[in-house]
């Protein structure tokens, strides 16, 4: 599977051309990401409540025709503006955590481009299917650093809430905005925090999440489950939520939101407190005030990643 994903990505980039040596203006990247997100918003709004096309890795992992349609809209915008940039969208990757991990690993290792767009066309598909207007269009952009290792960094993040007409965005080193107005994370401690989490689709991730819910529920003001990682991260960035944690997330769930939280003054780490990378799956994002205590609470409850399930 990893070999197939790597080959597909290599062919995708090779067919577009090699991007080494070609300058890309970061502000132009942001403009195209916002345009792509806004262009796809109308489709999401018009088709709220679409029928399930199929389930993927579990009964709670759904796919509609609209997911693929929105991804195509975004990918076409990117291809027109940046034909040499690589693109990784959720709907182009087989279902399951291993396939997702393999896909991002392949994208970061075999890409001939210095730029990689990481997209979740509808983050919160179950909400979407149930006509719950709480979904995010998530577009993260990574670029290679100009260092000896040619390592990757998140450079641009855009999350569009099509039902509130809200566009959250961030550029590395330039702060975060909501509808072009600067945003900051909150400053409340854990005792006053509104913490968000998710309901995991399988036993291996559900068990640690339930331990985390119990542990955090007794220490924070309250806990919420909203059904969209992108929205929860965006809301941490603007202070509506104090923190968000989950044991197993994909790169397209978090690439945009992680940058938005960081650029809004928050902290993003793995659940064990180690540095967050593009490939990190167990994630904790919060305002700086609550982070250390919340991370300790989760670690004490053994919420560090997936459980071994026999």
Distance CA 27, CA 192 (A): 37
**Is 147 annotated among the ligand-binding residues?**
no
**Is 91 annotated among the ligand-binding residues?**
no
Say if CB 102 and CB 77 are below 8 A apart. no
**Is 90 annotated among the ligand-binding residues?**
yes
Q: Output b/e per residue, 214-251; b: 16+ Cβ within 10 A.
A: ebbeebbeebeebbbbbbbbbbbbbbbbbbbbbbbbbb
Rg over alpha carbons for the chain, rounded to the nearest Å, is: 18
DSSP assignment letter at 48: T
Q: Please classify residue 11 by burial: count the beta carbons closer than 10 Å to its beta carbon, then call 0-12 exposed, 13-18 middle and 19+ buried.
A: exposed
Name every residue whose Cβ is closer than 8 Å to that of residue 225 and which is 6 or more positions away in sequence: 196, 197, 198, 199
Q: Output b/e per residue, 85-112; b: 16+ Cβ within 10 A.
A: bbbbbbbbbeeebebbbbbbbbbbebbb
Q: CA angle 36-40-45, nearest 5°?
A: 150
**Is 122 annotated among the ligand-binding residues?**
yes
- In the block, tokens 């929205």 appear at 231
SS3 (DSSP) at 95: coil
Distance CA 303, CA 300 (A): 8
Find the distance separating the first CA and the last CA of the chain, reported in whole Å.
23
**Is 272 annotated among the ligand-binding residues?**
no
- Would you list which residues are annotated within the binding site? 90, 120, 122-123, 253
Give the residue numbers of the binding site for Mg(2+). Answer: 90, 120, 122-123, 253
């Amino acid at each position: 599977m990893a070999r197939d994903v790597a080959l597909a990505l290599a062919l995708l980039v090779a067919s577009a051309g090699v991007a080494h040596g070609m300058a890309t203006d970061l502000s132009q990247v942001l403009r195209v990401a916002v345009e792509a997100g806004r262009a796809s918003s109308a489709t999401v709004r018009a088709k709220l409540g679409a029928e399930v096309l199929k389930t993927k890795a579990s009964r709670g992992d759904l796919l509609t025709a609209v997911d693929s349609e929105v991804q195509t809209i975004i990918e076409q915008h990117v291809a027109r503006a940046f034909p040499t940039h690589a693109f990784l969208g959720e709907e182009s990757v087989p279902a399951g955590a291993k396939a997702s991990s393999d896909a991002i690993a392949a994208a970061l290792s075999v890409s001939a481009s210095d730029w990689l767009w990481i997209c979740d066309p509808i983050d919160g598909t179950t909400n979407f299917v149930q006509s719950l207007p709480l979904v995010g269009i998530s577009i993260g952009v990574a670029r290679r650093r100009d260092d000896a290792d040619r390592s990757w960094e998140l450079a641009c993040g855009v999350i569009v809430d099509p039902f509130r007409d809200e566009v959250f965005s961030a550029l590395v080193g330039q702060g975060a905005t909501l509808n072009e107005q600067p945003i900051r994370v909150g400053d409340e401690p854990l005792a006053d925090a509104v913490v968000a989490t998710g309901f995991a689709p399988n036993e291996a991730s559900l068990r640690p999440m339930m331990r985390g819910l119990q542990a955090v529920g007794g220490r924070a003001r309250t806990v919420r489950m909203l059904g969209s990682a992108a929205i929860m991260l965006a809301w941490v960035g603007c202070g509506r939520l104090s923190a968000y944690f989950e044991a197993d997330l994909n790169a397209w769930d978090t690439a945009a939101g992680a940058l938005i939280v960081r650029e809004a003054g928050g902290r993003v780490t793995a659940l064990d407190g180690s540095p967050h990378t593009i490939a990190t799956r167990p994630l904790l994002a919060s305002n700086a005030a609550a982070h250390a205590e919340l991370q300790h609470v989760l670690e004490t409850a053994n919420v560090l990643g997936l459980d071994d399930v026999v």
